[in-house]
Structure formats: structure tokens, C-alpha cells
Amino acid sequence: MAPRPALLPAPPLASSRYNRQLLLPQVRVRGQEHLLNSKVLIIGLGGLGSPASLYLAGAGVGTLGLMDGDSVELGNLHRQIVHTEAAARKGLLKVRSAAARCKELNSEIRYVLHEERASADNILGIIAQYDLVLDCTDNPATRYLISDACVVLGKALVSGAAQRGEGMLVVLDSPPFPRPAAAGEGGHDKGPCYRCVFPRPPPPEMVRGCSEIGILGPVVGVIGTLMAGEAIKIIVAGCHVAVSSTPTSSNDSHMSSPTSSQPDQKPSQKQPHHTMLLYNTYAADPRGMFRTVTMRGRKKDCLACGDDDALARKGLSRITADVISQGRLDYQAFCGVFEDVKVLGEERRIGAKEFLETQTNPEHNLLGEEFESLREKGIVIDVREEHEYELGAKVAGSLNIPLSRILRLGGSAFDELGLLRRDGDKGQISAESHTQTTDAGDEADGFDRGPEQSGPANEELNVTLQPNGVTHQERTQTRQSRPPPVYFVCPRGNDSQIAAQKFLERLEADGAASQPWGWIGDVKGGYVALEKHSQPQDPASGL
């Protein structure tokens, strides 16, 4: 009989690429085995999904699923660090770009690509293939859809969000099943879902993307990295899989608690605290950059994860796989669709093409006669925020009065520009407009406002007719007799209506509506429409 060796070799994993994380008592060999056998899905390969995918690939997740239907653009790269300039130039799909980069980091794991956006048609079939899901999407409707699917399929969900300089992270549906009680220990209830935390979606007008309000790259980096960390903690603890109803053995007791500090530690008798992590990189007090909010836990009457008896008492039906896959729950309708503001009547709105004609007509560009040009082109008030005005395209000679200032101050926000003329005043434009002010001799053909005239739109000519039959174009081109029109403009033609209405309300309150004023209104479609109509057309297209 051969003698037993005196020195037993170390486990193969101990000398693997994962050695540094194996040294953590919370991970060890068994935790790494959980990672290598796990299947994780990341939905959304943008700012959040980029760092999450890299760190999960590096950690050795056995199968990493990547789901996104968008392509890489140059404007993504300041925050979506998994993508490259080469991918942007080629317009690669984000899932392919991310997979290529992750393979360069770890080629030993399996990658599955889902080149499509999450929808009711595909979400159940895709999530069913995985143990854990990371929601890195950027709109409420998709978040509710993903959460409902995870509840139906019994999958834990890590959800994150970020805008401007702030971010949020929450672990949902964890554990995805009630944890049975071990001998002498208390069990754990299911974790709350997205509907428990946010029973009602935010108003659609409050949902604005990063392309509108901005995002600091490191903010999504922080949240995405923390999402990967939470996913690793759940997997290492074994809380990403269902647990048998029989009491667990002492060797497997670590699978009963996501908060265990060691894989072999016994589960706590206390229910786990369900918390939300908030991050603000611009916090006034640096000690408040990270805040943790304790949530109330699962709602017994939640439509997705609630108890059957509680739902029955309220006459409610549970969200099931059939409800989702058959499209019986309209997530877009539930979250609401942002509709264009309808504040002004059509007689106070001008199309983008017609507006551009009033600004670009050569006879309006009178060299050395700046005030003449102002009277012909009109006064253009841009209501974007200062930083948006600074960065975006703008109408030459326009004045910037942010909508936030108008809403805060009301009509008085226009006072400093001298646009509200009272008896005895001379029409003046603030020096901020870089336009010369008038003197006494200019008053007759400068800012004396004629009576406000409005009337029905002539649908055949597609121009606005005033009661005297004069079109808007004729009004703005009448020289030495007509006051200048006042145009309000914003990104999409919504905020501009609100601002114009505030201006009109101020005129009415001051009794200035009876004073001679030019046409007052906004530009339909805002800068989105203006940029579309200002692009040169191909003569061959016939447009």
C-alpha cells in the first residue's frame, strides 16, 4: 500500500485567476463555485450595464447574458465605458460591442447575446434562462415589466438608475421565494418587488432622459459597479436559487441568508432589512453622498408578489405569466405617455418652417440697422435653462429667459428685459440681448404695441389669418407700422407654450393687453423641428 502524501495540494481554484477574491472569507472556494455555476442577465448595456458587465465577467460568472437592441454612438462613450470609438464608428450593436470587450477581460466564461429590447413578447423566455437579473434600463415601463417577469419566474433582481449627479440602487425580489425555517431558526419572507417600492409610476412629464437633463459619467459608473457587487454577494451566498422546503443542513445553511458574512454561517433569526441606496455626487455635505433608506418590505396586496388571500379580499387579480406574455397589461399606458402640451391656441403658434423664413429672409438683414432687423425678425425668447442654451443650437439674437425662472417669478421674469412697456416708457431691450435700445424718435416705429389680434386659422393656406385678413407673414414684414412679434422657443414646443402663456397673463394683469403689441406665441416643435427644417435638402429628392 502506497504511503499517503504528507502534503495535500491546494484546490485548483486557489491558484486560478480568481485567487484574490477567494481570499475573502465571504467568498472562499465555495462562493467562487457558485459564481462559476451561475447565469446572470444584464438588461441594458449603457452607462449602468457597462461597468456591471465588466466586473461580472471579471468575477467569473459562468454564463453572462447581455440584452440590448441599441447601437453604439459616439455620444455614449463618456459614460458607457464598455464600448469603444471603433464600435461607435461601425455602429455596432451594444451587446456585440460589450461581449467583445468582456471577452478580452475573461474569455473563459460563456456569453449569450440577446440583440433586442425587452418587451412583453420576449421577456419571460429570456429571463427564464438565468438565475439573476440586473435591470440597467432607463425608463419606468421597462422596469415594471422586468420586475413583474422576475416575480413570476422567481428570479432575484438588482435595479439601478442614475441621472445628472444622482443615482439609486435597490435589490428586489430577494429572496425570490420564502425561505423555510431551519431547526430552531426563523424563516424569511420574500423580498419586495418594484411595484412594492414604487406602487405608482412617476408622472410622464417628469420622466426625462439623460439626453435632455444630462448625466455625469462617474455617477453611472458608481451605481453600475455597486450593482455588480450586489449581484456577486447574492450569488456567493447562494440566494439566487430556490431552496427546498426541507430544513437545510448545517453545511448548506449559508444559502438561507443573503446577509451572512461567511458561506458556512448560520442564518440570522431576524428578517433581512430591505434598503435602497441613494448616491449624490454633489451633496452639500460630503458625508451625505451615500444614504441608505429602509423600505417597508413586500406589500401583501401587491399585484405582482402579493398574497392570494389579500388580493382576493380586494377583488384583485395577480399578474401571471399569461397576463404578461399575452399583452393584457399595457405597461406604456400604466406609466403614461408624455403628450405635447396644449396651452396655446393654434392662432398663437407658428410652424418651424414659417418661423425660419421670418429669420432668414435677406431683406431682414439690414447691415448697421440692428433695430430695424429686430423689428422685422421679432423678439425671440429661448426658455431653455442657461446651460442648455449655452450648449445647444440657438436662434441668432435670441434672449435666454429659463422656464424655471419664469415659473418661479411669473411675469416679472420679463421685467429686466424691458419687454413689458407701460405708459410713458420707451421700448427697450436689455443689454443682454446685444440689441440697441430705442430713443424717443424711434418710438413710433419701435415698440409701440398694436392691439392684440387673433383669429381662426385658414386651413387651405396653412397660415394664420387675423380678423382684418392680414397673414402672420405680412404682419412681420410690414415696416415702419407694425410692432415686432414675440416668439417663444424651447426644445420641443412644450415649455415655450407655458412661457408664452405666462407672458400673456402678465400683460392682462397689467392691463397692457390693450396697448399696441405685436403677435405673441411660440414655435411649434421647438428646436427639434427647427433643426429638421434648417437642414439643406437634396435637390434630387424633390423636397
Q: Which of 101, 140, 333, 138 is nearest to 224 (CA)?
A: 138
Distance CA 319, CA 306 (A): 10
Which residues contact residue 192 at a Cβ distance below 8 angstroms, ignoring those fewer than 6 apart? 172, 173, 274, 295, 296, 297, 298, 299, 302, 305
CA pseudo-torsion sign 314, 319, 323, 324: positive
Output the 3-class SS for 187-233: CECCCCCHHHHCCCCCCHHHCCCHHHHCECHHHHHHHHHHHHHHHHH
Determine which one of 150, 210, 302, 335 is catalytic: 210
Q: Which of 177, 505, 182 is nearest to 348 (CA)?
A: 505
User: Which runs of E-coded beta strand occur in 389-494?
Assistant: 399-400, 457-458, 463-464, 486-489
Residue 513 cell numbers, joined: 393687453
Calculate helix-pair angle for 94-105, 49-59, nearest 10 degrees. Answer: 30
Q: Are 230 and 171 in contact (CB under 8 A)?
A: yes
3-state secondary structure of 109: coil
Distance CA 311, CA 321 (A): 17
Determine which one of 136, 193, 335, 490 is catalytic: 490
Distance CA 521, CA 466 (A): 14
Strand partners, 290: 279
Which residues contact residue 295 at a Cβ distance below 8 angstroms, ignoring those fewer than 6 apart? 170, 192, 196, 197, 274, 275, 276
Ramachandran angles phi, psi of 303, nearest 5°: -65, -25
Is residue 210 part of the annotated active site? The answer reads: yes
DSSP 78: T
Residue 266 cell numbers, joined: 448560520
Which residues contact residue 142 at a Cβ distance below 8 angstroms, ignoring those fewer than 6 apart? 43, 117, 118, 135, 331
Q: Are 170 and 136 in contact (CB under 8 A)?
A: no
- Helix ranges restricted to H, 41-183: 49-59, 85-90, 94-105, 123-127, 140-153
Q: Are 523 and 533 in contact (CB under 8 A)?
A: no
Is residue 150 part of the annotated active site? The answer reads: no
Report the amino acid identity of residue 490: C
Q: Which of 10, 13, 5, 238 is nearest to 132 (CA)?
A: 238
Which residues contact residue 442 at a Cβ distance below 8 angstroms, ignoring those fewer than 6 apart? 371, 427
DSSP 178: P
- Helix ranges restricted to H, 107-139: 123-127
Q: Are 506 and 326 in contact (CB under 8 A)?
A: no
Catalytically active residues, by annotation: 210, 490
